[in-house]
Amino acid sequence: MKATYFLGGGRFETREEPIPAYGADDVLVRVAACGICGTDVHIWHGDKGSAEVTPPVVLGHELAGVVEAVGAGVTAFMPGDHVTVDPNSYCGRCRWCRIGKKQLCERLYAVGVNRNGGFAEYCSVPQAQCFLLDPEVPLRYGAMTEPLACCLHGIDRARIRTGDTVLVVGGGAIGLMMLQLARLQGASKVVVSEPVAMRREIALSLGADGVIDPVHGSVAERLEAILGRPGADVVIECVGNTLAVKQAFEAADRGSTVLLFSVPKPGTAHPLDLMDVYRKELTVVGSMINPDTHARAAALINGGLIRFEEIITHSYPVEKLEEAILMQMSDASLKVVVEMA
């Protein structure tokens, strides 16, 4: 099979090698599609992922495919099943796992980060990490389950109430999924702030009540014109730079929740006006990966409740992984997936 290894230093190498072995409790997945994530971009730049990365390793943690074979102890899946994979495994023993916050696990172990993942024709994963997809669901949509599951955890943390107004800062793939989830959660109005015109247009097509170009014109004035008030009840930041974070805090109304969802570059800092937090009585929350939300994400995808056709803009073969990562970093793309022939 073909497998593209990350060698460190921004280098990749596609190798021909045997199909991976699988244990009694494992499922061998013939990968159909695997998304490029911001975490992959961080790793490519030499930064840490959700867990430590030790090259050489096959990256790719947003994968979906068809079950090729199962181990002797597998009872929930059979060859031919369409599945999506939750990449994250937890130790179950550390303090965080034992108090119900396993996303903070001290021994987090992830397919496509520190175990060979989806940028290969086949991937072996524990059956506990697999979730069924309806056969009618395009497998490139199934590859969106993991980022959607992460967004669901963020939405849970933001605690959107029916009738709330929501501002999404950033109209990339994550922001456009957040837009749709906020709608499903009962938000009365959802606004997207995004400097790229193409992304603003797609946000409107996916149901945004209004869009803001944060580069040209006043964000505050535009937001008030759409919402009829100077700020939103919930602000979801999906960019990861200090300008976006500054905009998120400025757009938060009194009593608002600000969700800092993005994965920033390590060491990124933002000066916080503590008086503003006090005066507005803001709630500021973070969000880490997808604890116990993968099944819900798969259910939303199986139910056809999230639109991906406008979000997945580019597809590449596994041999062109570096080109795919560069495209994911470009404003010309939203979501880039690697699809197997």
Same domain, 174 and 91: no
pTM exceeding the 0.85 threshold for the entire prediction: yes
Q: In the prediction, which pLDDT does 265 show? A: 80
Q: Is residue 297 part of a domain?
A: no
Residue of 176, 174, 173, 166 whose CA lies nearest to 206: 176
Q: Is residue 303 part of a domain?
A: no
Same domain, 98 and 163: no
Q: Is residue 130 part of a domain?
A: yes
Q: In the prediction, which pLDDT does 49 show? A: 63
Per-residue pLDDT of the chain (341 residues; tens, 9 = 90+): 999 999 999 999 999 999 999 999 999 999 999 999 988 998 998 876 666 788 999 999 999 999 999 999 999 999 999 999 999 999 999 999 999 999 999 999 999 998 999 999 999 999 999 999 999 999 999 999 999 999 999 999 999 999 999 999 999 999 999 999 999 999 999 999 999 999 999 999 999 999 999 999 888 899 999 999 999 999 999 999 999 999 999 999 999 999 999 988 888 889 999 999 999 999 999 999 999 999 999 999 999 999 999 999 999 999 999 999 999 999 999 999 999 97
Q: Is residue 198 part of a domain?
A: yes
Same domain, 136 and 270: no
Same domain, 247 and 319: no
Domain, as residue range, for 45: 2-144+311-339
Same domain, 20 and 44: yes
186: domain CATH number?
3.40.50.720
What is d(CA 242, CA 257) in angstroms, rounded to the nearest whole number? 18
Same domain, 153 and 246: yes
What is d(CA 71, CA 223) in angstroms, rounded to the nearest whole number? 54
Q: Is residue 221 part of a domain?
A: yes
Q: In the prediction, which pLDDT does 50 show? A: 63
Number of domains in the chain: 2
Same domain, 20 and 89: yes
Assign 3-class secondary structure to the chain. CEEEEEEECCEEEEEECCCCCCCCCEEEEEEEEEECCHHHHHHHCCCCCCCCCCCCECCCCEEEEEEEEECCCCCCCCCCCEEEECCEECCCCCHHHHCCCHHHCCCCEEECCCECCCCECEEEEEHHHEEEECCCCCHHHHCCHHHHHHHHHHHHHHCCCCCCEEEEECCCHHHHHHHHHHHHHCCCEEEEECCCHHHHHHHHHCCCCEEECCCCCCHHHHHHHHHCCCCEEEEEECCCCHHHHHHHHHHEEEEEEEEECCCCCCCCCCCCCHHHHHHHCCEEEECCCCCCCHHHHHHHHHCCCCCCCCCEEEEECHHHHHHHHHHHCCCCCCEEEEECC
